[in-house]
Amino acid sequence: MTYKPKKHKGIFLSWLSSYLFILLIPLTISIFAYTQSIYIIETEINRANSASLKQVQQIIDSRLKDIEKLSVEIAFNEKIRGLVGYSKSLTPHQIYTTTNIINDIKIYKIANAFINDLYVYFRYNNFVLGPNGKCSSAEFHEFYCKDYGQDLEEWLRMLNRNHPGEYKALGNPKEQRLSKKIIFARSLPIEFLNETGGVIVIGMDESTLIKALQDINWVHQGIIMVTDQSDNIIMSTQRGTDKTHILKSHNFDKPQGLLHRKIKGEEYIVSYIKSDVTGWNYISVLPTRIFLDKAKYIKKISIVSTAICLLIGGWIAYLFSKRNYSPVKKNGGYIGKKRRYSG
């Protein structure tokens, strides 16, 4: 009977495969850690995104509440209330009162730096009082409202409607030559909504609110926009681009939410939260490639560490298998020689 070294080679391969199998355990853990890190990155970005969007809501809602409070304060100004329902020619005393009202409006405007326009329209005598003085409605429209895309008749129709306290965006965002402004209108007298003797109009320049949006550090990577209850875009950090496709087939019916959407062939995360004051929607649209960009470094590290682990681990597995196999090989050779001599 002759000695067969193939049996001992089988033992070597068995040990080697055992060591390599043990090597698969840390590799499996590394793959799991990589997938979990991607999930954590996405979760943390979404969390930071939601927190920033909440911050936007609080900043803008706070200013909107201040405007509403200011409009109520103006509505109960006794000088203004005395002129709202007056339809005859103004007396000298009332003309003097208009001067005092103009001074009051100046104080209101200076004390509230976040507004850039404030005026009161008196319907029956067809004049407007603002921080710069008194003028007719036609003169005021010519000097201050012409750039917002409304002609005189349309502007007067807006002023003569009942406004229980509502916001409106003036200007067409598709027309780059036009300015844009968000106004708050409250009809006077405040306690009789069926009778409109005048209206308080408080205006904010869009740039004032856009600044609050752009202060969020992740805005440059996506889009933040504000829409009204009818999903009309009031303002956006990317003015002049068509963003209506983002709102199509999206249902913002909950107080806040997060949606995964494919828009024009690219994957996006759409986060939104509703205003507690107006019912507006504050919407953030981030491309999912942001997550992938942040994961690239982790992916490179994982690939390099896996390759190193395979090379070093495979080499160590080979050395251990060879070291354990050496005594078996020697004993096998000794037994084989002994059998040949005894034969």
pLDDT digits (tens, 9 = 90+) for 274-292: 998 888 899 888 887 776 7
Whether 274 contacts 263, CB under 8 Å: no
Neighbouring CB atoms inside 10 A of 143's CB total 12
Whether 92 contacts 258, CB under 8 Å: no
What pLDDT, on a 0 to 100 scale, did the predictor assign at position 260? Answer: 80
Question: Rounded to an integer, what distance in angstroms lies between the CA atom of residue 109 and that of residue 96?
Answer: 20
List all residues 6 or more positions away from 342 whose beta carbon is below 8 Å from its beta carbon. Answer: none
Mean pLDDT, rounded, for 57-80: 92
Question: Rounded to an integer, what distance in angstroms lies between the CA atom of residue 294 and that of residue 144?
Answer: 48
Categorize the per-residue pLDDT at 269 as very low, low, confident or very high, splitting at 50, 70 and 90: confident
- Give the 3-state secondary structure of residue 228: coil
Categorize the per-residue pLDDT at 10 as very low, low, confident or very high, splitting at 50, 70 and 90: low
Query: What percent of the chain has pLDDT above 90?
Result: 22
How far CA 55 is from CA of 16, 76, 207, 221, 223, in Å, comes to: 58, 32, 18, 18, 15
Mean pLDDT, rounded, for 65-83: 93
**H helix intervals, the chain:** 6-75, 78-84, 92-111, 137-140, 152-160, 206-214, 244-247, 289-342
Cα angle 85-87-89, degrees, rounded to a multiple of 5 = 130
What pLDDT, on a 0 to 100 scale, did the predictor assign at position 335? Answer: 46
Categorize the per-residue pLDDT at 2 as very low, low, confident or very high, splitting at 50, 70 and 90: very low
φ, ψ dihedrals at 167, nearest 5°: -100, 150
264: left (phi > 0), else alpha (psi -120 to 50), else beta? left
What pLDDT, on a 0 to 100 scale, did the predictor assign at position 317? Answer: 67
How far CA 39 is from CA of 26, 165, 205, 274, in Å, comes to: 20, 45, 40, 27
Query: Which position has the higher pLDDT, 316 or 103?
Result: 103
What pLDDT, on a 0 to 100 scale, did the predictor assign at position 199? Answer: 95
Categorize the per-residue pLDDT at 28 as very low, low, confident or very high, splitting at 50, 70 and 90: confident
Mean pLDDT, rounded, for 38-54: 80
Mean pLDDT, rounded, for 289-303: 72
SS (H, E, C) 154-215: HHHHHHHCCCCCEEEEECCCCCCCCCCEEEEEEEECCCCCCCCCEEEEEEEEHHHHHHHHHC
118, pLDDT greater than 80? yes
Strand partners, 47: none
- Give the 3-state secondary structure of residue 137: helix
List all residues 6 or more positions away from 23 whose beta carbon is below 8 Å from its beta carbon. Answer: 309, 310, 313, 314, 317
Alpha carbon 252 to its chain centroid, in Å, reads 14
Query: Which position has the higher pLDDT, 281 or 146?
Result: 281
pLDDT, averaged across the chain: 78
How far CA 332 is from CA of 3, 9, 14, 326, 340, in Å, comes to: 8, 11, 17, 10, 12
Closest CA to 73 of 35, 105, 29: 105
* Long-range Cβ contact pairs of 6-11 (< 8 A, separation 24 or more): 7/332, 8/325, 8/328, 8/329, 8/332, 11/325, 11/328
Closest CA to 59 of 220, 214, 232: 214
Count the residues in the chain: 343
